[in-house]
């Protein structure tokens, strides 16, 4: 089972999320973009009613309401629905970079089991190494790639660029281990509606993960 890992690159470290099945190396190819989404058995039959208003997004996502509304309109989905899904993605991403003091246990959000396991692995690895982390990732270039039913969606695939340029990593002696290269990567998030809330079931790098392309 793959894990989100901290990739050593030269003298620095960059937070790189990888689901290729083994610890990544700089020469290892990224995972292919997943196929069209399907709802999990415990997904809700009906999406919650979305108000036809400008969605209220957390500032931490890095996305403007206009960008989110444009992505929703292109996929014929209510903006509030995409806003809820995007907030769940933001929460999942933040959990990978959340501070974890010695002796503490990771706080894992409502995500798919494989993703929850990866969050714990990354958190414990960083804790064991005595590394500290500040800052949180943001998103841009949002796109709803697939949706099962635009009028009452229960499953979606969302693609976005994840920017970790605001994240700083330090080792146990306080040395800055952050590299400023490869801080943006295009990711694909599989989403299911479970008990009225959008849940990230999986995350992978897009076939073309270069956000500058």
What pLDDT was estimated at residue 179? 73
Answer for the pair 135, 160: CB distance below 8 angstroms, yes or no. no
Question: Where do the domains of the chain lie?
Answer: 5-21+40-210
What pLDDT was estimated at residue 212? 80
> Tokens standing for 144?
């709803």
Answer for the pair 133, 97: CB distance below 8 angstroms, yes or no. yes
Does pTM surpass 0.75? no
- Which residues of the chain are modeled with pLDDT < 50? 1-36, 43-52
What pLDDT was estimated at residue 6? 33
What pLDDT was estimated at residue 56? 62
pLDDT digits (tens, 9 = 90+) for 124-150: 988 888 888 888 899 999 999 999 999
């Amino acid at each position: 089972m793959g894990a989100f890992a901290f990739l050593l690159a030269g003298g620095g470290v960059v937070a790189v999320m990888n689901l290729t099945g083994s610890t990544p190396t700089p020469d290892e190819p990224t995972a292919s973009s997943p196929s069209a989404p399907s709802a999990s058995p415990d997904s809700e039959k009906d999406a919650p009613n979305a108000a036809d208003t400008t969605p209220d997004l957390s500032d931490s996502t890095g996305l403007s309401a206009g960008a989110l509304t444009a992505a929703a309109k292109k996929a014929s989905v209510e903006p509030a629905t995409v806003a809820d899904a995007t907030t769940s993605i933001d929460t999942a991403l933040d959990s990978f970079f959340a501070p974890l003091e010695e002796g503490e246990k990771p706080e894992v959000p409502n995500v798919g089991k494989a993703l929850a396991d990866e969050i714990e692995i990354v958190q414990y690895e960083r804790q064991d190494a005595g590394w500290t982390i500040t800052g949180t990732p943001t998103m841009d270039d949002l796109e709803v790639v697939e949706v099962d039913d635009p009028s009452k969606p229960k499953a979606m695939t969302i693609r976005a660029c994840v920017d970790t340029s605001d994240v700083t990593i330090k080792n146990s002696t306080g040395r800055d281990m952050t590299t400023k290269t490869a801080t943006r990567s295009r990711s694909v998030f599989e989403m299911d509606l479970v008990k009225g809330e959008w849940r990230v079931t999986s995350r992978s790098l897009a076939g073309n993960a270069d956000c500058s392309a």
